[in-house]
Structure 1
Amino acid sequence: MELNSLFDQLHSLPTIPKVAQDLILQFDNPNTSLDAVARNIALDPVIAAKVLRLANSARFRGAREASSVEDAASRLGFNTLRTLVLASAVTGAFKTNSGFDLKGFWLHSFKVASICRLLAKSRGVAAETAFTCGMMHNIGELLIQTGAPEIAARLNRMGSGDAAGRMALETLQLGFGYPEVGAELARRWQLPTVIQQAIALQTRPHQAPIEMPLPRLMAQAVLITEAIEQHPGDLEAVKNELDSPLCEGLDLDDLLAKLPEVLEADKAFEELLN
């Protein structure tokens, strides 16, 4: 199958609201103000409602209830807003058949995104761009589920315990894997080129030039997430699982010490998007 054929088989391309597209670009603009972001959020009732709901949740609620998007934006702050807008836009774009664990898919994506952000902060890479890449790292998988359902069902039955195995199965069956599909969707959504490239190169980070750290960072985040899911609550086993060339140079003790707090913080978003 040709990659374009997969997109041609979709009844309609999954879309994210124009407001959300504008917001994603706006968040990456260093001259953006919180007030300007709040005004754009107010244009989308779904995103605005989720922002208000989060601002009034137990985790963020102040002395009084936030009654406007401006109040909510001020309370949540720039980074939390960005995370919520992105997550709301991307998760709302997809519907798959009941044979695919969509909730589990997004929970895994949140974990990868959170770890991408943590890794980025430790090495001076744009943390929120890294979060976006992590959130969308396997978005191509959902396109395969919707655009090639019969092949996807066969792949689901065959199963695979890790991202590398899944990509190998997809490439064998389709001629391409989820990274190529995800990168093409990011291009059609007109997301920044750096995000397109990171998604495309995540399973072959050694091919990325040295000035492009995101593919390697994403590959590390996926490996760490898989180790956490394979050994829940057993950080020593997770550490042993990460004894690989891909993780050379990482301070694993420091990383694992920070992980519980990072993953706990993002549970609020997963709950809101159910």
Structure 2
Amino acid sequence: MSLVPLFEKIHQLPTVPAVVSELISSLDNDRISIHHVSASIRKDPSLSLKLLRSANSVRYGVGRNVATIDNALLLLGFDRVRTLVIASGVVGVLKDVPGLDRRTFWHESFMVANISRALMRHSRLEGLAPETAFTCGILHRVGAALMHIAHPQVMSRIDALVASGAPRGELEFDQFGFNYTEVGAELARHWRFPEPISTALAYQERPLEAAPFSAYAAAVNLAIELSRHVGEGWREEHALSEMPRAVRRPLALDLLSLYEEVLDILKADDELGVFFD
């Protein structure tokens, strides 16, 4: 089924700030000018404030006051600043979505994002960008949020069933002829994000069907399963041991170092406070 009616039903599609779109487009660009990025961030007072608040939080703080964007870039590093700005911008785009529990939605999204990034850090494959994996993870349910805007009552019913263990993708496809993965991928294309991000969103539920293989789709798929199992009460070690081998093996993971980092992520405190207004 065409997604055109869904996008037409939403009279004003959410748009990401220009600097966020620019930073996401730069994820695979090693030549981007840090000075240009700093100037772009400073043009957005809201994002600048959120970045500095994040940089001075307990989770991200470096033991000294981060007073300017240039300080943040110097003390935290470009990759960390880019991630914080992208996360802040995406969180700010989706406010007051009908029927959506904002804290639960973003808690799950950040958990998936952090695990996805860890998976890329510990993959032996060449050319993968951990920050791209984080961005795919933070966006993995953006399609569901858009569907909530267009169909809040039906989506609330689906959410209730998903909380009891029902498969989200199948329920959405049954009701609409498409599901959140397709909507998220189309929204990423609408925002003109790099193709690896839209591919990861499209194939996150069926990563082995992507041709060519999408490491980012596989990482998001594994991260979703890990997060879900821990949320259901599984011990972290048990959840890690049950990662599907068919999805895990193509990533060529260093399991020892991966397990150590993911255990820390799964047990870490909620980081949402610095991103909410």
> Normalization by structure 1: what TM-score?
0.88
- List runs of 5+ in structure 2 lacking aligned partners: none
Task: Say whether 1:51 aligns with 2:51.
Answer: yes
Tell me the equivalent position of 2:243: 242
Conserved? CA contact 1:116–1:130, under 8 Å: yes
Count of aligned residue pairs for this structure pair: 270
Task: Say whether 1:129 aligns with 2:127.
Answer: no
- The amino acid of 2:105's aligned partner reads F
Q: Report the Cα distance in structure 1 between the residues aligned to 2:217 and 2:55, rounded to whole angstroms.
A: 33
Q: Given the superposition, is the C-alpha separation of residues 28 and 243 from structure 1 closer, same or farther in structure 2, using an over 3 Å criterion?
A: closer
Q: Given the superposition, is the C-alpha separation of residues 264 and 160 from structure 1 closer, same or farther in structure 2, using an over 3 Å criterion?
A: closer
Task: Say whether 1:217 aligns with 2:223.
Answer: no
Name the SS of the counterpart of 1:271 in structure 2: helix
Conserved? CA contact 1:96–1:146, under 8 Å: no
Q: Given the superposition, is the C-alpha separation of residues 55 and 246 from structure 1 closer, same or farther in structure 2, using an over 3 Å criterion?
A: closer
Q: Report the Cα distance in structure 2 between the residues aligned to 1:13 and 1:91, rounded to whole angstroms.
A: 15
- List runs of 5+ in structure 1 lacking aligned partners: none
Q: Report the Cα distance in structure 2 between the residues aligned to 1:57 and 1:258, rounded to whole angstroms.
A: 21
Alpha-carbon offset, residue 121 of structure 1: 1.4
Tell me the equivalent position of 1:89: 89
Q: Report the Cα distance in structure 1 between the residues aligned to 2:63 and 2:253, rounded to whole angstroms.
A: 38
Alpha-carbon offset, residue 202 of structure 1: 1.3
Conserved? CA contact 1:114–1:263, under 8 Å: no
Q: Report the Cα distance in structure 2 between the residues aligned to 1:141 and 1:266, rounded to whole angstroms.
A: 25
Q: Given the superposition, is the C-alpha separation of residues 170 and 55 from structure 1 closer, same or farther in structure 2, using an over 3 Å criterion?
A: same
- Alignment map for 1:83-122 (pairs within 5 Å): 83-97=83-97, 99-122=99-122
Q: Report the Cα distance in structure 1 between the residues aligned to 2:27 and 2:47, rounded to whole angstroms.
A: 15
Alpha-carbon offset, residue 263 of structure 1: 4.7
Q: Report the Cα distance in structure 2 between the residues aligned to 1:141 and 1:41, rounded to whole angstroms.
A: 28
Q: Report the Cα distance in structure 1 between the residues aligned to 2:213 and 2:246, rounded to whole angstroms.
A: 19
Alpha-carbon offset, residue 97 of structure 1: 4.6
Q: Report the Cα distance in structure 2 between the residues aligned to 1:51 and 1:215, rounded to whole angstroms.
A: 28
RMSD: 2.4
Task: Say whether 1:173 aligns with 2:175.
Answer: yes
Alpha-carbon offset, residue 88 of structure 1: 1.1
- The amino acid of 2:19's aligned partner reads V
Q: Which is worse superposed, 139-148 or 152-161?
A: 152-161
Q: Which is worse superposed, 108-117 or 46-55?
A: 46-55
- Alignment map for 1:1-274 (pairs within 5 Å): 2-58=2-58, 59-63=60-64, 65-97=65-97, 99-123=99-123, 124=125, 125-161=128-164, 165-231=167-233, 234-239=235-240, 241-242=242-243, 245-248=246-249, 254-263=257-266, 267-268=270-271, 270-274=272-276
Q: Report the Cα distance in structure 2 between the residues aligned to 1:115 and 1:149, rounded to whole angstroms.
A: 29
Q: Report the Cα distance in structure 2 between the residues aligned to 1:209 and 1:98, rounded to whole angstroms.
A: 36
Q: Report the Cα distance in structure 2 between the residues aligned to 1:171 and 1:95, rounded to whole angstroms.
A: 25
Q: Report the Cα distance in structure 2 between the residues aligned to 1:113 and 1:186, rounded to whole angstroms.
A: 16
Q: Report the Cα distance in structure 2 between the residues aligned to 1:254 and 1:262, rounded to whole angstroms.
A: 13
Alpha-carbon offset, residue 253 of structure 1: 5.3
Q: Report the Cα distance in structure 2 between the residues aligned to 1:98 and 1:178, rounded to whole angstroms.
A: 16
Conserved? CA contact 1:60–1:75, under 8 Å: no
Alpha-carbon offset, residue 75 of structure 1: 1.4
Conserved? CA contact 2:222–2:244, under 8 Å: no
Name the SS of the counterpart of 1:159 in structure 2: helix
- The amino acid of 1:237's aligned partner reads H
Sequence identity percentage: 36
Q: Report the Cα distance in structure 2 between the residues aligned to 1:212 and 1:49, rounded to whole angstroms.
A: 35
Q: Report the Cα distance in structure 2 between the residues aligned to 1:184 and 1:202, rounded to whole angstroms.
A: 14
Alpha-carbon offset, residue 182 of structure 1: 0.1
> Normalization by structure 2: what TM-score?
0.87
Q: Report the Cα distance in structure 1 between the residues aligned to 2:74 and 2:47, rounded to whole angstroms.
A: 16
Q: Given the superposition, is the C-alpha separation of residues 273 and 243 from structure 1 closer, same or farther in structure 2, using an over 3 Å criterion?
A: same
Q: Report the Cα distance in structure 1 between the residues aligned to 2:97 and 2:213, rounded to whole angstroms.
A: 40
